[in-house]
Chains A and B, each alone.
Chain A
Amino acid sequence: MKITSIITCGAIYGLTFFSNSQEELAKSMARGKELYKESCITCHLANGEGVKGTFPPLAKADFLTKYPEKSIRAVKFGMSGAIKVNGVDYNNAMPPSGFADDEIADVMNYIRNSFGNKNTQPVTEKMVAAVKEK
C-alpha cells in the first residue's frame, strides 16, 4: 500500500514536472519565433533552409546537434569564417544578435524544435549565460 502510493505520487509528480517543462518549452519557443522573425529570418529564411553556399541551413542542420555551445555562442557574439553544415561549405559572417540571455534561450528553443528539428531538452538562460566569447 505504502509502496503503491509512493509510486503513484512519484508518477504524478514526474508527469506534472515533465508536462510543466514541456509547457515552458512551448512558451519559450513561441517567444523565440517572434525573435526569429525579427533577426534571423532574412538570412536563414522562414523554413530554416538558408541559402545554399551563402547562409547555412538551420533545418536538420548537423552543426546544431554537433555543436550546441558553438550555436549559442554564434547568436550571442556573432560568428565568422569557414564552417561545414550538412556537407556544404560556408564562409560568411553573422553579426551578434544583441539579444539578452533569456531571449537567446528562447530563439534557440524555437530553432532546435522547428524546421524538422527536435530537442525536448530546453536551452535555459543559465546555459546561455555560461557561454563566453572564448
Chain B
Amino acid sequence: MKLQFKQPIKLLLILAVVATSGLLMSHCNISPNNKELTANNLKLETVVTGLNMPWSMAFLPDGRVLVTERGGKLRIVNGSQLDPQEITGIPKVYYRGQGGLLDVALHPNYKENGWIYISYSSPKKEGEAGDDNGANTALMRAKLDGHQLTNIEHLYKASPNVRGGVHFGGKILFDNKGYVFLSLGERGQKENSQNLSKAQGKMVRLHEDGKIPTDNPFVKTKDALPEIWSYGHRNPQGLVMHPTTGTIWAHEHGPQGGDELNIVEKGKNYGWPLITYGIDYDNSIISDKTEAPGLEQPVIYWKPSIAPCGMTFVNSPKFKEWNGDLLVGSLKFQNLEHLVIKGNKVVKKEVIFDKIGRVRDVKQGPDGNIYVVVESTGAIVKIGPKA
C-alpha cells in the first residue's frame, strides 16, 4: 500500500524535474548568451560615405579598397577616407539606366601580377555589330600605378550592341583554375537569351588574358559563340564560388516574382524566357511554364522579387555559425538576406539589416568582416560581431 502510493509520486517528481529542466534548456536557447548567430549580435558600422552611385568594391592587399562609381569613376578608399583624386584610365562608359562602370575584381594572384579586372557598359565603337548609339558589357584589365591605370588590355566585349539602359549583368568571377567568368544580361531582348549566336543572357568563360578556352561547351557548335559557358539567363548580378566545393552560384533579376538563385554549370540552359516563375513588368504572361525538360530549375526563386544584387559566401571565423551560407543584397527592399545553405539547397531564408539602403555589392573582407556597398547612401558599411 505504502509502496503503491510512493511510486507514482516518485514518477511525478521525475517528470517534473525533466519538464523543468527542459523548460530551462529551451529558455537558454533564446537567451542572449546562446551561441546562435543572429543579426542581434552583429553590429553595423559605416566605413566611408561620399561615393556617388557606388557599384562594386575590391580589397587591395595594402588595406585600401577600390570602388567603382557607376557614372564612370574608379575611386580609392583609404581607411575611412575617400581619396578625392579619382583613378585615370577608365574608358568612356555608357551611363544610362542600369549601365555604366560596373564590377571591379582583383586577380587571385594580384600580389604577384597586379592585374585589376573591370567590367563596364561599353558604347558601340565603329565596326562593332549592333545598334548605333547602343552598348554592351565589356571586360578589361589594367594595373594601378599611383592614381593611374596602366597596361590597359581590353579583353572582351559582348556582342551585339543594343540600345537601351537595361540588363548589363557585369559580375566578374575567378575560379582559381585560370579562368574568369563574366555574367551578361540580355539587354532587354529576352528571346536572345536562348540564341547561342548572341552574347545576351549568358555566362561567358575566358582565359585570364581574354582568350577563349578550347574546352568551352559550345566551341564546336555551329553558329554558337565559343565564349558561352551557360545560357538562358536574364540579368545575373550576383556571381560567387562556393569556398569548399568550388561550385558557381549566381542570382539574377527575373521578371516580377521571378528572381532566381542558380548553380551555374557548363553548357546548361537556365530557361529564360521559356520557363519562369514570374510575369512581365507590364503584367503580361511570358511563359505559362515554370519547368520543362532540359531546362534547369533554380535553387530558389523570390516572389515577390527582391531585385538581388551582390552576394557572398560566408567563410570567416567571425561568422562561424554562418560559414557556407550566402548573404544576398536587395536593391528593392534595401536589406540583406541570409540564406542558410545545406548542400545544394537553401533550407532557411531570413532578412537581416532591414532598410540599410539599395545594396549593390556584398563581400567578405580580408579581415573576415562583411562589407556592403550601398548605392543610395553612397556608403560602404561593415558588418561584424559585437565585441
Contact = CB atoms under 8 A, between A and B. Distances in A.
Contacts of A39: 97, 165-166
B376 A93 contact: yes
B282 A46 contact: yes
A54 B333 CA distance: 7
Contacts of A46: 281-283
Q: Which of B96, B99, B333 has most chain A Cβ within 10 Å?
A: B96
A93 B96 contact: no
Contacts of B89: none
Interface residues of B, number: 24
Given A92-B376, A93-B376, A98-B165, A42 B99 contact: no
Interface in B278-295: 281-283
Interface in B296-355: 307, 332-334, 355
Contact of A38 (B164, B283, B377): B164
A95 B165 CA distance: 12
Given A54-B332, A98-B99, A93 B375 contact: yes
A45 B281 contact: yes
Main secondary structure of the interface of B (DSSP, over half): loop
Contacts of A55: 332
A45 B284 CA distance: 12
A41 interface: yes
B358 A42 contact: no
B164 to A, nearest CB: 5
Interface string A86-99: 00000111011111
A41 B282 contact: yes
A95 B95 CA distance: 12
Interface string A21-54: 0000000000000000111011101110000001
A103 to B, nearest CB: 9
Contacts, number: 52
Nearest to A79: B376
A16 interface: no
A39 B96 CA distance: 9
A90 to B, nearest CB: 12
Interface string A117-133: 00000000000000000
A41 B307 CA distance: 13
A80 interface: yes
Given A38-B164, A38-B165, A98-B97, A93 B282 contact: no
Given A46-B282, A93-B375, A38 B99 contact: no
Contacts of B165: 38-39, 97-98
A48 to B, nearest CB: 12
B96 to A, nearest CB: 4
A28 B219 CA distance: 46
Contacts of A96: 53
B63 to A, nearest CB: 29
B357 interface: yes
A95 B375 contact: yes
Contact of B376 (A41, A45, A80): A80
Interface in B63-99: 70, 95-97, 99
A38 B189 CA distance: 11
Nearest to B332: A54
B188 interface: yes
B188 A93 contact: no
Given A80-B376, A93-B357, A38 B97 contact: yes
A87 B333 CA distance: 20
Nearest to A93: B376
Contacts of A54: 332-333
B136 to A, nearest CB: 15
Name the 6 nearest CB pairs between A and B, nearest first: A93-B376, A98-B96, A46-B282, A41-B281, A39-B97, A80-B376
26 contacts: A37-B281, A37-B282, A38-B166, A39-B165, A39-B166, A41-B281, A41-B282, A42-B281, A43-B332, A46-B282, A47-B283, A54-B332, A55-B332, A80-B377, A91-B355, A92-B334, A92-B376, A93-B357, A93-B358, A93-B376, A95-B53, A95-B375, A97-B96, A98-B95, A98-B97, A99-B96
Interface of A: 37-39, 41-43, 45-47, 54-55, 78, 80, 91-93, 95-99
Given A42-B281, A93-B357, 13 more contacts: A37-B282, A38-B97, A38-B165, A39-B166, A42-B307, A54-B333, A80-B377, A92-B376, A93-B334, A93-B358, A93-B376, A98-B97, A98-B99
